[in-house]
A and B are shown apart, each in its own frame.
Chain A
């Protein structure tokens, strides 16, 4: 049966100053289709989807929705025309209840002479939540009492209020755990089944392969190709994204568990959050992987090791000089670095420039005997990191708010590379980063290891763990349930047993 197109984009262009974000983009979306959109950071996929959703407008080009010209003035207009989007960032208002969040901007539908019928709104909101499989969320609850995942689910409910024909999912899955992902994928299935369409943006190639009927690859603002059916493979997507074959290995090429005997970090029966009396040691030149489910306690462990949170028992020690890591100040002074999972809130200053962010932990290295820091040395440091990590930007002075999500993550990484930390604690370091940069980061980690520096790699991605770690600790419910050494035969199944 011939599929009917629902959305057509023709020769769409968008510039941000000298940066050409979209160049002559043509795009076709059919009814009943889940269409993936992938590309490296800065390839234009979020820009394109945000134009469709009415967040911003294109500089030139045209859109047709169901055969009619489509030029949304704003998001509300787009919603009214049948296009809804779930964004990457936080999209709910904490100060109001769930029902009000779901119906923000639509309260007039439930009001008479300005008086709003909250009972009706709450009932309807609960109905929608039940409908999408989130009946455990109370529609009358204050939104600020919900965790990040539940708030994302509320956003999904809000999008569903308008019963859109096109749903745009913009890198939302990274923020969701099992429950949220299930709800989202069920929604996607429902859209497909009811002859509607979904534009699915993700960096998770496996996910794209499982979910999408077609995948369009963008690079530098241009459509490179659209894959369908059996052509959608991780290799083909990677190749098209970066424009070359991956001749080198993606992860480490060796399968040797190698590190010095010297212990550089010693955590002695530490207790915090969900873990109790946990002990571990990090060796010189080691990449120590820590994996588990999202709530196993590994993220809190990273914070305690860096001194952000104080352990209730025991201590974290740097055996070389016996320093106890009590707070981040001591940690940084002693050559430790930390990359948080919650990037925007804990790792970067959004309103500051790349330069300001990169140099933050490196002040002592940049300053001379009297504490003076030259602008030249600052710029040099920032530019080095921009070059090494290929951060797509106008220059070191560009503000982080103007960068894409993945480029922001690169800036976070560059902070700690720039100050030449001896011990790096990386929590979900490659989250939201495209394959090209991921590969570059993995190469960097190898180089760091070779220099004799040590890395604790906390991740929810098992392939990354297996591919990069010398040793791997598996956590479950706050305890270390298994330890694996690097080996060619190690598989995900071996590890999952101890995680779930």
Chain B
């Protein structure tokens, strides 16, 4: 087999070994209930929203910026999109357009502040999280900051439409990250911003674009969130972060998998794996609290193992070598 093919196969195996183990475990633990065609579709469908949220977070994360306000942006854009859709009677297209536009405005504002104030993004994001959580209440006091859409608009969250939305989002994300100068520049900047700056990259401009494109995906996530819930209330006291918790867990796993495969693909596989785990635990009847603990512990062990794997491999090799050297030394002495 040509070495390139072999290399590709090895990387594919490494990428899929953990997801495969998860699937196998839950296939056995749920006695096959989790892998009926319907269940698989449910898993895939439930993976779309966190996957899109991760797409919103990824570019900023590549630059070392963890934007915690993204959850608040998703919910705010859901509410704004839902209300404007109702007001204008524009249906699902309206929901998408208004959600995306509002999210882009919000994240662009976050980026603008990040560039101008030169304050750590953590501080800005936490502050803006509260602002974005309160924003729907200011804009729509009559609805008390919430939005309700009719059940017929739930079709956006149903198959096949949700998969179409995902396919389009993924295609855009993949192309942006891998095939554009923007994607390359982000990776360069994320690697060493001083060197990138010296090489002529306009750092502030790239960061601003990062936030703006993040808003595009956050808006799509907002529209999906609205469609799948039907009613979204304005969150308070950082509760918007729980919306994106599953996405965070998937993100860490995705970063781990991206060592073996393209980052966009790694993230999608990661999200599907985490959703499979969630569904499997639900099917097994495990309480929500314990589910979160199990998912976190599994992730913890996985990341600890992968992070220490080179040391383990080296340790084994050293032990072997040490034994051989000792034997040789004994031979020399006896000789």
Contact = CB atoms under 8 A, between A and B. Distances in A.
Interface of A: 55, 74-76, 79, 91-96, 100-101, 104-108, 111, 114-116, 118, 269, 271, 276-277, 312-314
B180 A100 contact: no
A115 B198 contact: no
B328 interface: yes
Interface in B276-330: 318-319, 321-322, 325-326, 328-329
Given A114-B180, A114-B181, A277 B188 contact: no
A116 B183 CA distance: 9
A116 B181 contact: yes
Contacts of B22: none
A173 B182 CA distance: 35
Given A92-B195, A95-B190, A271-B321, A276 B181 contact: no
Contacts of A76: 198-200
B328 A277 contact: yes
Given A105-B196, A271-B325, 6 more contacts: A74-B200, A76-B198, A93-B195, A105-B200, A115-B179, A269-B329
B198 A75 contact: yes
Interface in B165-185: 175, 179-185
Nearest to A99: B184
Interface size class on chain B is 20 to 34
B191 A96 contact: yes
A77 to B, nearest CB: 9
Contacts of A105: 196, 199-201
Interface centre among A96, A115, A118, by most chain B C-beta atoms within 10 angstroms, is A96
Interface in B200-216: 200-201
Contact of B188 (A74, A79, A96, A114): A96
Given A75-B198, A313-B329, A115 B180 contact: yes
Contacts of B37: none
B192 A312 contact: no
Contacts of B183: 116
A104 B188 contact: yes
A96 B190 CA distance: 9
Contacts of B180: 111, 114-116
Interface of B: 175, 179-185, 187-188, 190-192, 195-196, 198-201, 318-319, 321-322, 325-326, 328-329, 332
A95 B187 contact: yes
Nearest to A77: B200
B199 A277 contact: no
Which 6 A-B pairs have CB atoms at the shortest separation, nearest pair first?
A95-B191, A312-B322, A76-B200, A105-B200, A93-B191, A105-B199
A57 to B, nearest CB: 14
A475 to B, nearest CB: 17
Contacts of B181: 107-108, 111, 114, 116
Given A100-B184, A114-B180, A75 B200 contact: yes
A111 B318 CA distance: 48
B61 to A, nearest CB: 12
A312 B321 contact: yes
B199 A104 contact: yes
B317 to A, nearest CB: 10
A31 B182 CA distance: 39
A271 B328 CA distance: 11
A276 B183 CA distance: 47
Contacts of A118: 179
Given A105-B199, A116-B181, A277 B329 contact: yes
Nearest to A143: B191
Given A93-B196, A104-B196, A116-B181, A276 B190 contact: no
Contacts of B192: 93-95
Nearest to B317: A312
B284 to A, nearest CB: 39
B198 A55 contact: yes
B318 A104 contact: no
Contacts of B329: 269, 277, 313-314
25 contacts: A74-B200, A75-B199, A76-B199, A91-B195, A93-B188, A93-B191, A94-B191, A94-B192, A95-B187, A95-B192, A96-B188, A100-B187, A104-B195, A104-B201, A105-B196, A105-B199, A105-B201, A107-B184, A111-B181, A115-B180, A116-B183, A276-B321, A312-B321, A313-B322, A313-B325
